[in-house]
Chains A and B, each alone.
Chain A
């Protein structure tokens, strides 16, 4: 999903800086990143390093920040561990909070997108992940109001996306998977939602919405 977002942003003419857990040598050859920093966002010192790096690379001026990194485990609470709970909450909530805090001056006049999940209301199969995304939603809800007029803050909750995260998280494959959306289609819909001047602070990037976007794109491409 992050790769699709980066590709779509590059296609729209942005110079894209990215971070991830992978070593630079392990990035896919077709990645569109101008600059890359390897970082583990479950470590506050590395989150701080990401913020410093982003500020230095951009000269303190960021048009769009998309905080997309996230992880979770599909399992009941009894199967959790203290370490894993801390890791999920740090990456999914504490890191975005720290980055928003550090990048605030650079974002003036720009947009901050927080990538949530449709699990943000509740998910019995992954309570810790759901809690982290519910918290991110509440954070973005407050921040959008605080920064209104200065920085456009939006929380975007994608529906199930076919990225392999679900399998890695341990969710068994079933019929539902045929409904999963392609990362590229979701990335397009997500960026459209973030970059639109008007729109609600918190939005679900649903099947309908992605479908409508694809349809409009198809029609305009066909008319050309």
Chain B
């Protein structure tokens, strides 16, 4: 199976990469980090900052997509965040979040579709966030980017179904990853977060026909409550999360 994965160096991306490699997939990774030394030959590692406008980097991606595809499984996972009061986080960080988490996946999808790099009967997975259901005061630009991805995924479904490609939206709650630990309040208990390996298994094993992937009972419950009472849910997030986040310097 041929896989395209953005953000493969840490957290959920690293778990996804390991799981893909373990089952014998050929994986193309796009990541800002340098290629790890231990990476097996079945992995093609492209170093590129998805938040940059660097033409050479994007040209290299286009070439790679043509050479390595079509992909049976595309996982747009690369994402960054910044937490704290919106106005206290430097503007440059908000802009980079918007570019990495939203501009880049839209551009990649455009390239993939134009170059027919989605394999028939394949899948396209967008890694969004449970924040799409709960709101995320304390990470306004991050929440914006993830809601944008969710809307994009819903909007693309019909067109890609005609090409035989299943579009899926993954909305994980807090995971036990470096990213989550960096952005959680100081007193948060890591033991209650879901393991990235578990989320990776869910993604790889999911049926092509399921659109929404909510890993774990906690995420499913939060999504249901968020659907029933979206504003109440965001106010709760404000009390339990933002009140703790806003005190700290970003």
Q: A interface vs B, CB < 8 Å? A: 44, 76-78, 80-82, 85-86, 89, 93-94, 97-98, 100-102, 104, 120-124, 126-128, 130-139, 141-148, 200-202
Q: How far is the CA of A81 from the CA of B205 in the complex (A)?
A: 33
Whether the pair B155, A145 counts as a contact (CB closer than 8 A) is no
B155 and A127: CB pair below 8 A? yes
Residues of B with C-beta under 8 A to A133: 151
Contact among A127, A139, A201 for B140, CB-based, below 8 A: A139
CB neighbours of B158 from chain A (8 A) = 124
Residues of A within 8 A of B242 (CB): 145-146
Q: Which residues of B contact A (CB under 8 A)?
A: 58, 85-87, 91, 94-95, 98, 102-103, 106-107, 109-110, 113-114, 131-132, 135-141, 143-152, 154-159, 230-231, 234-235, 237-238, 242, 246
Give the residue name and chain of the B residue nearest to A124 (CB).
B158
B86 to A122, Cβ gap below 8 A?
Answer: no
Answer whether A146 and B137 are a contact pair too, CB < 8 Å, given A77-B109, A93-B98, A101-B91: yes
A135 touches B148 (CB 8 A): yes
Q: Which of B143, B155, B156 contacts A138 (CB 8 A)?
A: B143
Name 9 A/B residue pairs within 8 A (Cβ), A-sorted: A93-B98, A97-B94, A124-B156, A124-B158, A126-B155, A133-B151, A134-B150, A142-B137, A146-B246
Q: Find chain A residues with CB under 8 A from B159 CB.
A: 76-77, 124, 127
Hey, which chain B residues are within 8 Å of A80, CB to CB?
110
Q: Which residue of A142, A148, A201 is within 8 Å of B144 (Cβ)?
A: A142
CB distance from A45 to the nearest CB of B (A): 12
Within 8 Å by CB of B91, from A98, A130, A146, lies A98
Residue in B102, B106, B109, B135 whose beta carbon sits within 8 Å of that of A145 in the complex: B135
A76 to B149 alpha-carbon distance, docked (Å): 16
The 5 closest A-B pairs by CB, nearest first: A134-B151, A138-B147, A135-B148, A122-B154, A139-B144
A145 CA / B158 CA spacing, docked (Å): 34
Task: Name which of A97, A126, A142, A202 has the most chain B CB atoms within 10 A of its CB.
Answer: A142
Assembled-state Cα–Cα distance A8/B108 (Å)? 42
| Contact indicator B155/A130 (Cβ below 8 Å) | yes
By the criterion CB–CB under 8 Å, are B110 and A131 in contact?
A: no
Does A89 contact B58, Cβ atoms closer than 8 Å?
Answer: no
B58 and A201 form a contact (CB under 8 A)? no
6 new A-B contacts at CB < 8 Å, known A94-B98, A102-B91: A78-B113, A128-B152, A138-B132, A138-B144, A142-B143, A146-B246
**A136, B106: Cα distance in complex, Å:** 16
Interchain CB contact under 8 A, A89 and B106 = yes
Determine the distance from Cα of A133 to Cα of B154 in the docked complex, in whole angstroms.
13
Q: Contact at A78–B138, with CB atoms within 8 Å?
A: no
Smallest Cβ-Cβ distance to A125: which chain B residue: B155
Instruction: Give the residues in chain A near B102, CB-CB below 8 Å.
Output: 89, 93, 131, 135
B114 touches A94 (CB 8 A): no
Q: Is the CB of A123 within 8 A of B155?
A: yes
In the complex, what's the smallest C-beta–C-beta distance from B115 to chain A, in angstroms?
A: 10
Given contacts A89-B106, A131-B106, A131-B149, contact A139 B135 (CB under 8 A): no
Which residues does chain B contribute within 8 Å of A98, judged by CB atoms?
91, 94-95
A61, chain B: closest CB distance, angstroms: 17
Contact of A146 among B132, B140, B157 (CB under 8 A): B140
Docked pose: A98 CA to B135 CA in angstroms: 20
Per a CB cutoff under 8 Å, which of B110, B135, B143, B151 touches A121? B151
**Residue from the set A81, A100, A128 with the largest chain B CB neighbour count within 10 Å:** A128
Tell me whether B155 and A122 are in contact (CB under 8 A): yes
Query: Is A101 touching B94 in the complex (CB atoms < 8 A)?
Result: yes
CA of A202 to CA of B150, assembled, Å: 17
Contact, CB under 8 Å: A135 / B231: no
Shortest CB-to-CB span from A63 to chain B, Å, is: 19
Tell me if A142 and B136 are in contact (CB < 8 A): yes
Contact A142 B139 (CB under 8 A): yes
Give CA–CA (A86, B151) in the complex, Å: 17
Q: A146 near B85 (CB under 8 angstroms)?
A: yes
Q: Complex Cα distance A118/B235, Å?
A: 23
Please give, as numbers and ranges, the residues of chain B lying within 8 Å of A139 by CB-CB distance: 140-141, 143-144, 147
